[in-house]
């Protein structure tokens, strides 16, 4: 199974004791609220993920559950490519700040360019982008102690593709995708019942 998995109508029975911290993908790739252009380009060339948690740097290197930083929002791959293509860098702030609108993103929909179609100079790779004006600052998130059925209901009802997992202090510790909740299936045989975990591709 590849691409976006199709979810059944209900979460698999016997899954109430499976928690978000067990099914989430980690380690994950995050972006800082203000990020280097060159780093974003290399990231988009190396991975095919469609969404990235945006974080403040972690407060401490020591944590019971490893944190990637305080969760601030979620930004899509398509948004990052539009920002790069139109050179929405902090260095050029005075040129684009007043004229920027949602039309900039809508005009590329649904055929967004690929990262290989974006031309960035070596000097521009040293610039920074403030992601805060463009990210979704309040996406749905899930506590690490939430159950698989809870995650399943959110994906099923809202059509989500990504669900960041946070700890008790709102630090992101992982991310759940549709493939993570779709891989559990119930089996029945001669009056017995159990839960199987399927192998699904890693494309997010």
Domain architecture of the chain: domains with CATH: 20-197 (3.10.580.10)
pLDDT of residue 172: 93
Please give the residue that has the higher pLDDT: either 79 or 96. 79
pLDDT, greater one: 121 or 194: 121
Give the pLDDT confidence score for residue 157 in this predicted structure.
87
Say which residue, 17 or 126, is predicted with more confidence. Answer: 126
The answer to pTM > 0.95 is no
pLDDT score at 18: 84
| Residue 190 confidence (pLDDT) | 61
Q: What is the pLDDT of residue 1?
A: 43
pLDDT of residue 112: 80
Q: Of 106 and 73, which is predicted with more confidence?
A: 73
What is the pLDDT at residue 79?
Answer: 93
pLDDT at 60: 56
Res. 51 pLDDT band, cuts 50 70 90: very high
Q: Which long-range contacts (CB under 8 A, 24 or more apart) does 178-182 make?
A: 178/4, 178/5, 178/7, 179/1, 179/5, 179/203, 179/204, 180/23, 180/24, 180/25, 180/151, 181/7, 181/11, 181/23, 181/148, 181/151, 181/152, 181/155, 182/1, 182/5, 182/6, 182/7
Whether omega for the bond prior to residue 199 falls within 30 degrees of 0, making it cis, is no
């Amino acid at each position: 199974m590849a691409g976006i998995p199709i979810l059944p109508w209900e979460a698999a029975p016997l899954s109430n004791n499976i928690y978000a911290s067990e099914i989430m993908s980690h380690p994950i790739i995050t972006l800082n609220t203000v990020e280097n252009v060159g780093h974003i380009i290399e990231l988009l060339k190396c991975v095919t993920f469609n969404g990235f948690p945006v974080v403040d740097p972690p407060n401490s290197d020591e944590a019971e559950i490893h944190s990637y930083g305080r969760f601030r929002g979620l930004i899509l791959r398509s948004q990052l490519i539009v920002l790069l293509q139109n050179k929405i860098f902090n260095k050029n702030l005075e040129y684009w700040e007043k004229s920027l609108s949602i039309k900039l993103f809508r005009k590329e929909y649904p055929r967004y360019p690929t990262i290989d179609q974006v031309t960035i100079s070596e000097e521009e790779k040293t610039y920074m982008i403030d992601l805060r004006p463009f990210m979704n600052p309040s996406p749905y998130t899930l506590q690490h102690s939430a159950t698989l059925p809870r995650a399943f209901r959110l994906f099923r009802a809202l059509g989500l593709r990504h669900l960041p997992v946070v700890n008790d202090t709102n630090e992101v510790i992982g991310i759940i995708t549709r493939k993570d909740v779709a891989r559990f299936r119930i089996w029945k045989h001669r009056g017995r019942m159990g839960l199987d975990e399927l192998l699904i591709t890693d494309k997010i």
